[in-house]
Amino acid sequence: MSNLLNGLIVKDQSGFFEIETPDGARYTCRLRGRLMEEAQSSDIAAIGDRVMFSLNDDGSGSIEEIAERKSVVSRALRTAGVRGAGSPERESVIIANADQALFVFAAAQPEPSPRMIDRFIVMGEKGGLDICLVINKIDLDKQDHSLKLKETYERIGYPVLYTSAVQNIGLDACGIACAARFRFSPAHLALAKPACLTAYRKGLGARSKT
């Protein structure tokens, strides 16, 4: 298949994958039949995967090959049943081939949850990603609660950035820390969105997943 195109999966929804080629063109593709059979126990194609695909007559595409991953962030989906009683059923890949996890949380309104932050750090470490914590909404932190969090996580080796999307504080530093990297930022931890993520994306470009 010498006429295959290569690209990066930038979006997936219900078995349809949006693939961006090096020239910026985008195509909606589905897995070739033989690959769909392999996808029963795990997501063999996910955002961040580099693939080879062929074009169909209607302009859509078929994914023919998927490159080996260098990193993966995933979770196990469990069978239905009493909470905690189900057994792992299949691997759900959140993102593949990311270099860095950018965990964004608010300094206030709502209050940050160290337990949740720790869970995401574990997920990022398991996936082999470099981790950067971003404390947004510092303009609302009147009692400096975020300072204690910053000191705690920096003491154990994680970089922490202070930002305020509303007041345009710290966004340049955030952009420098993440420049030229393929980033993962889980949307449900980005408690300061959408203003925060909109501001970050202006400086970071499109190579991120939220």
Instruction: Please tell me the pTM assigned to this model.
Output: 0.70
DSSP the chain: -TT-EEEEEEEEETTEEEEE-TTS-EEEEEE-HHHHHHTTSB-SS-TT-EEEEEE-TTS-EEEEEEPPPS-EEEEEEE-SSSTTT--EEEEEEEEES-SEEEEEEESSSSPP-HHHHHHHHHHHHHTT-EEEEEEE-GGG-TT-HHHHHHHHHHHTT--EEE-BTTTTBSHHHHHHHHTT--EE--TTT-TTTTHHHHHHHHHH-S-EE-
The CATH code that applies to domain 98-209 is 3.40.50.300
Are 5-66 and 98-209 equal in CATH topology? no
Q: What would the pLDDT profile of 109-136 be if each residue is shown by its tens digit?
A: 888 888 989 988 998 898 888 888 988 8
CATH number attached to the domain at 5-66: 2.40.50.140
User: In the chain, what are the domain boundaries?
Assistant: 5-66, 98-209
pLDDT digits (tens, 9 = 90+) for 133-162: 988 888 888 877 788 888 999 999 999 988
